Chains A and B, each alone.
Chain A
Amino acid sequence: MKKLALIIEDDEDLAAIFAEALRGIDFEVENVTDGMQARERLTQGETPFLILLDMHLPRVSGQELLKAIKSDGRFDGTWTIITTADARLAEDFRDQVDFALIKPILFGQLKDLASRLKPKDQL
């Protein structure tokens, strides 16, 4: 069974590039482009293997979504990666997440990173 990646990113092009990178290494990809939708998605459905979360989202902020993820035990085994163009913001949240990536994020970079991730319970 393919690992599920949830990409929460409002920029369609970036979402498409990230999706392509992850599909290339055999992920199943689900895209959400808006904060409100993302919050709903987090309360139901399949628990993803990886969440790629943009910190700048319309309606509900990435910060709020991150709080929801951290407080929900279902995501304990989920790799959480945040993306932002703001280096200082990345620094602020680095301790709370598995990876904090600063834009620009290269296609190859994301591919390399995700391909190295093993299920957390096997660590």
Chain B
Amino acid sequence: MNKRLQRFLTISTTDPDDARKRKILNILLVGTGGISLLALATFVYWATTSQLNEMELTLLVGGSIASLVMVLTIYLVNYFWSGRVAALLYLLLLNFIFAFSDTPDQVANGRALIGFTIPIFLASILLTPAASFVFAVLSSLIIAAIAFSINIFPNTPAILGYLFIAFISWSSAGGLEHALSELRTINTNLDRVVTERTQALAEALSRERVQAGRNQAILNSIADGVIVFDNRWNATLANPAIKSMLDIPLELIINKNFRELIEHPRVAPRSRALLNAMLEHGTQPIGFRIEWSDKTLSVSAAQIYDNQRQNTGTVIVFRDFTHEAEVERLKSTFVGVVSHELRTPLNAILGYAEMFKESVYGPVNEKQINMAERIMKNTQRLLGLINDLLDQAQMEAGKLTIHNQVVRVADLLESLHGLMDKSAADKNLELTSEIDDTLPEALMGDPARLQQILVNLVNNAIKFTDRGTVHVRLFRQTGKWGIEVADTGQGIPEAELPYIFETFRQVDADATRSHGGFGLGLAIVKQLVHLMNGEIGVTSRHGEGSVFTVVLPLTTVEGVSTSWRHE
């Protein structure tokens, strides 16, 4: 019922203001129509009781019927054509009704004056706020005309009152319209925002679903085992690969604490210690290896941070390293065996050549001695290369370690001269050396590896110097000490400087042929220096020689317990 009434009253139009006004007009029309019907019924009742004369009756009934017809007409105009025209007609109708609703003196100067305020007020609502003034003037003209027709002066307070009511209506309706239009703007904006947000949310949800699906697919398809832990080390996520890698069901991983996994009987004790260390000190920068049953797994971990840089957990990636570990072990065994097997016959060649040279089995002439020396020299070179390869292999496998003990710096230079003087003399070069006064007599270091650094640097200098000297200087810096090897050789082209410490690098292929060697010497020096936490640098001018400088941390013997000392 209510709905039907609403449909009857509501006129659909694109302008919400127009719709509102036309609806109000319809409500007023229903009210006016109702009153007219009631009046008609009353008048008809009066007629039957003969309270009115015939002329009065005709006037009243006719007026009521006319009013009803007008109301219907205005409704149709309002409904089908224009709200404004309908409103104007309605307000004029009201004025007309009030003008004839009472005796002329009452209309011009009495109780009916109040009726005219209604169209003035309604004009501001149904037309525009300013229309109130038009109807105030119209009403004033009506009562003035009626007043003049009965020869009285128009009621000035009433006219002023009309204008005042018009003013009130104008300002309140204007405020109302303004408020309504603001409200509409706010509503429109709100609608737009809600629509946008909803759409964004829907997009984000679907994106997230796609992303999550993709992540899960990636996680499922990678061969590495992945476990994601929250910040209390409870496993929240794991992929199928980890299941086969650890050979335990996922239920034993998911929602379990990392500690339970570490305590699993398949973890080797040493690996357990490593995992516990990771748990306590957070993640380790470099991956490490653990033994799980008969498998070797490499473990690397990374912290997970959210947008606020808060640590929300850790992701651990396990990789099956069993095969690689086996290959590495074989490689290192192979290198060990090969180096041993190669060195033994070379030792024999060296020994026989020496015996020949020493005339063990009878006298030999000078040329034969010279030949024996050449055999020995080349064998030594070959042995040097094998040592280099072995060192390189050990360093690659991370097996070469530094064993520090007390080293007398003078001993280092003494044995350097013992080993290299002859090589220098063979090329008519001078090998000189000095030790800075500030350097302590003894310091902590690995004598064999320091010797190797010196020999390799000097060997390299001799190789690339054709005349002049190779000078070795041991020096001290604040908290450090160093080795400097300077030569007067051909120098190194500037463009080649960045590469000279690379494995198997010599300045050009011809150099390899004319100077011998793989170019491993400097690469080994650099790696040894790094193992000793030191640094190496080189300055060179093409044609003027090169200076290699090694700087190492200085640990003096005084700072070390005497049990380290060697006699």
Contacts and interface: CB of A to CB of B under 8 A. Distances in A.
A86 B403 CA distance: 15
Nearest to A84: B340
A103 B343 contact: yes
Q: In the complex, which range does the number of interface residues on chain B fall in?
A: 20 to 34
B522 interface: no
B358 interface: yes
A106 B340 contact: no
A14 B351 CA distance: 8
A56 B351 CA distance: 19
A93 interface: no
B343 A106 contact: no
A18 B340 CA distance: 18
Given A85-B340, A85-B343, A17 B403 contact: no
B347 A14 contact: yes
B346 to A, nearest CB: 6
A17 B346 CA distance: 12
B350 A106 contact: yes
Contact of B352 (A17, A85, A86): A17
Contacts of B355: 17, 20, 107
B448 to A, nearest CB: 7
A107 B354 contact: yes
B336 A17 contact: no
- Among the interface residues A18, A21, A56, A103, which one has the most CB atoms of the partner chain B within 10 A? A103
Given A14-B351, A20-B355, A86-B340, A104 B346 contact: yes
B339 interface: yes
A120 B429 CA distance: 44
Nearest to B346: A104
A24 B355 CA distance: 10
B345 interface: yes
B57 interface: no
A13 B351 contact: yes
B59 interface: no
A56 B347 CA distance: 15
Given A17-B355, A103-B343, A87 B348 contact: no
A90 to B, nearest CB: 10
A85 B339 contact: yes
B248 interface: no
Contact of A87 (B350, B358, B360, B448): B448
A13 B348 contact: yes
Nearest to A10: B344
Interface in A1-60: 11, 13-14, 17-18, 20-21, 24, 56
B351 A11 contact: no
B403 A91 contact: yes
B383 interface: yes
Nearest to A18: B351
B344 A85 contact: yes
A91 B350 CA distance: 23
Contacts of B448: 87
Nearest to B341: A85
A91 B336 CA distance: 16
A104 B352 contact: no
A105 B360 contact: no
A13 B345 contact: yes
A11 B344 contact: yes
Contacts of B339: 85
Nearest to A15: B348
Given A85-B340, A86-B340, A87-B448, A11 B348 contact: yes
Contacts of A85: 339-340, 343-344
Interface in A62-121: 85-87, 91, 103-108
A16 to B, nearest CB: 8
Contact of A56 (B340, B350, B383): B340
Interface string B363-385: 00000000000000001000100
A91 B343 CA distance: 18
Given A20-B360, A85-B339, A86-B336, A103 B344 contact: yes
A91 B352 CA distance: 27
Contact of A104 (B336, B347, B360, B403): B347
Interface in B478-520: none
Contacts of A14: 344, 347-348, 351
A17 B344 contact: no
B345 A106 contact: no
A17 B340 contact: no
Contacts of A24: 360
B20 to A, nearest CB: 99
Nearest to A54: B344
B169 to A, nearest CB: 109
Nearest to B360: A20
29 contacts: A11-B348, A13-B351, A14-B344, A14-B347, A17-B348, A17-B351, A17-B355, A18-B351, A20-B355, A20-B360, A24-B360, A56-B340, A85-B339, A85-B340, A85-B343, A85-B344, A86-B336, A87-B448, A91-B403, A103-B343, A103-B347, A104-B343, A104-B347, A104-B350, A106-B350, A107-B350, A107-B351, A107-B355, A107-B358
Given A13-B352, A24-B360, A91-B403, 7 more contacts: A13-B351, A14-B351, A17-B351, A17-B355, A103-B343, A104-B350, A106-B351
- Which A-B residue pairs are the 5 nearest by beta carbons? A17-B351, A13-B348, A107-B354, A104-B347, A85-B343
